[in-house]
Amino acid sequence: MVDALAIIVAVAGQGTLIPGFVAFPLAAALLKSGAGYMQIAAFISTLMMVGVVTMPVEIRYFGKKATLVRNAAAFGFSLIVAFAMGVVL
């Protein structure tokens, strides 16, 4: 099961707007500092796939329903990825 810390960092990741070229070195630094693979996977995957900050623009172009479904599916998939990373690594 995904631990509580992974859910907390997933929520933090979905509300953060950081480009990929900054996020991956940040993940490496967090790993060196002792963060777990599950937590890093949850943070990076929600950071890249879930767009809470960009939601108003996405709603404008794709509609409210499509935006909410995409973000909910991306968040759920991020937790599945975090769990898989925690099991494998």
User: Residue 76's pLDDT band (boundaries 50, 70, 90)?
Assistant: very high
Q: What is the pLDDT of residues 36-75, one digit of tens each?
A: 999 999 999 999 999 899 999 999 999 999 999 999 999 9
* Domain count within the chain: 1
Could you list the residue range(s) of the whole structural domain that residue 68 is in? 4-88
- Write the DSSP assignment of the chain as a string of letters: ---HHHHHHHHHHHT----HHHHHHHHHHHHHTT--HHHHHHHHHHHHH--STTHHHHHHHH-HHHHHHHHHHHHHHHHHHHHHHHHH-
Q: What is the pLDDT of residues 19-37, one digit of tens each?
A: 989 999 999 999 999 999 9
pLDDT (0 to 100) of residue 34: 94
